[in-house]
Amino acid sequence: MEFAELITTPKLDGVILHSPFHEPIDGTLCITGHHLILSTRKENVQELWLLIQAIDTVEKKHHPGATQNGGTIILKCKDFRQLQLDIPSTYDFQNVYHSIERLASLNKPELSYPFFYRPMFSILEDGFTLFRPESEFAKLLASEEWRISHINRNFSVCKSYSSVLVVPKTVDDNTLSAAASFREEGRFPLLSYKHDNGAILLRSSQPLVTNSNKRSRADEKILTAVLGPYKKGYIIDTRSTGLIGHCKSKGGGTEPDGHYPQWNKICKNLDKLVKCDGSVLDHFSKLIDACNDSSISTDKWLARLENCHWLTHIQNVLSTSCLVAQCLDKDGASVLVHGSSGLDATLLVTSVAQVILNPDCRTVRGLQALIEREWLQAGHPFQTRHAKFCYSNSRTKNQQPTFLLFLDCIHQLHYQFPYSFEFTTQMLILIFEHSYFSNFGTFIGNNEFERQEMKLNESTTSFWSYLNRPDVITNFLNPMYEPNKAAVWPSIAPISLELWDELYLRWVIDQKYQRSAFQKVHQLIQNDKNLRTKVIRMRKQLMDLQKELQGFTLESDDSLLDE
């Protein structure tokens, strides 16, 4: 198929662009296979270069009056922008609308722009090989307890897992294969993280126990090998007991108590994230609708913010992640996290818990490695989840903003501990954008199996290769950063949670003054060492206050572990 077949009008003069915070621009619209380009002869006016992949939905509105008066095309984008194109001729209006709609509806990854993009910069490091399990777990693999397994090299054991797996040395490959048949989609318990005190964080999918409480000695052997004799661990199930019962009637369920005597089970109600019924994206759509309603009164805004439940989802994820982190850090107990498929809420909880506990995850490279380990290599289906977003009327139950929830949780931690992160929240926004539309191939595909099938490492460029260039990453470094080896225990009280206005309101409220102020602060700190010293002193005072608050929070949360 040629892109030209889909484009009825490749070039059109006299198109007027309306975009946030800019005066209307009269220029020439060019439609290519991957971009909309609007250029003008006016000086000091920036051209529009919009990836077709960034468009979530295309709407049209006829101009009133005669049939030849043309109309307006409204482009609602996955970065929350809303653009309008005024086209004077009805014939051209229809042609442009259908051309954009056809291009935006293409769902073949191989036709997306990353396969055609050729970087204009030299590749300093290959992002596709930067965070492989062999290097990420090198210290762990040097011990006598863990090894590399290649049983999944052909993805025959589990299609959504990586081809290289880190497993206990005492567990052979036959046991892994048998355990995979006991878990949904073959996602047997797999290492996520080893804490400083030796406690292990695992993730998996639900066991296929059915109503007969079927057991798997291979699965039990893996968990026993991780836990060791005479020790206790926790299974954090991200589903409510009601949903677990429903899953059990369909062949799933949770671990039978009698066969896992060393493990205490705790159920957390993240059902909306587990079921992938599209309701979380519906809630998020309500949030964005409220954000875009500039005429709304304060009372109605607060009511709509509450009714969309987005911050409630954030609170629930942070609460469960804190519980996991407390089990690991305060109790010294190993933890297995799973819901049903283990592709959404499970990854959310294990990754946020690591950001809380592991200071390395609060660095630039550490966050990238975490996203690789816990999302890309762990099989989060980016291609499916991000196909449509909050504006689209054709979204399905498989579209889910799970990864955005993860980034928002980090934003909440960053808001409460602004000096403990090496990066700014602007880097989180950049990662969000590239996970939905990009020049790069990092987030294409649903798992490593599909990425190997498409030969992404040969055909596309890695997003990390771009981001880690010195001239790029310096723009996202936090000037207030001071390495903090301690855990960052957040307050999860509703009053402590903050709407991410820097992202959700950026096309509604012009933030140029905030950006300008941040740049000035950055320059002042770089140029004045005494000022940096004062900032660090103030930071330590704030941390002391935070520790007092944390002590109160942890005391109130300890009752959860007793259950």
DSSP per-residue letters across 16-78 = EEE-TTS--EEEEEEE-SSEEEEE-SSTT-PPEEEEGGGEEEEEEEEPSSSTTS-EEEEEEET
pLDDT above 80 for 540: no
Task: Give residue 476's Cα distance to chain centre.
Answer: 18
Pairing of strands 200-203, 334-338: parallel
Which of 22-26, 173-177, 449-453, 462-466 is predicted least confidently? 22-26
Contact indicator for 423, 298 with CB cutoff of 8 Å: no
Q: How far apart are CA 500 and CA 389, in angstroms?
A: 17
Higher pLDDT, 309 or 556: 309
Residue 413, pLDDT score? 98
Residue 563, pLDDT score? 45
Mean pLDDT of 70-76: 96
Higher pLDDT, 46 or 506: 506
Q: How far apart are CA 537 and CA 539, in angstroms?
A: 5
For 247-325, strand residue ranges (E) read 263-267
Mean pLDDT of 112-122: 95
Residue 526, pLDDT score? 66
Nearest alpha carbon to residue 61 among 82, 77, 85, 79: 85
Residue 551, pLDDT score? 53
213: tokens are: 């409480």
Residue 549, pLDDT score? 59
Which of 19-23, 187-191, 540-544 is predicted least confidently? 540-544
Q: What is the pTM of this model?
A: 0.92
DSSP β-bridge partners for residue 27 = 15
Q: Per residue in 486-511, pLDDT tens?
A: 999 999 999 999 999 999 999 998 88
Q: How far apart are CA 62 and CA 52, in angstroms?
A: 22
Place of tokens 């025959």: 156
Helix axes 217-227, 173-180, angle to 10 degrees: 120
CA distances from 164 to 108, 116, 147, 149, 320 (A): 27, 29, 10, 6, 28
Write down the mean pLDDT value for the chain.
Answer: 91
Which of 83-97, 284-298, 474-488, 533-547 is predicted least confidently? 533-547
Helix axes 310-329, 279-292, angle to 10 degrees: 120
Contact indicator for 188, 219 with CB cutoff of 8 Å: yes
Residue 536, pLDDT score? 61
Contact partners, residue 1, CB within 8 Å, separation at least 6: 111
DSSP β-bridge partners for residue 48 = 38
Contact indicator for 157, 176 with CB cutoff of 8 Å: yes
Sheet holding 233-237, edge to edge: 190-194, 200-203, 334-338, 233-237, 263-267
Higher pLDDT, 44 or 427: 427
Neighbours of 269 (CB within 10 A): 16
Q: How far apart are CA 252 and CA 149, in angstroms?
A: 27
Mean pLDDT of 58-82: 88
pLDDT band at 274 (very low <50, low <70, confident <90, very high): confident
pLDDT above 50 for 556: no
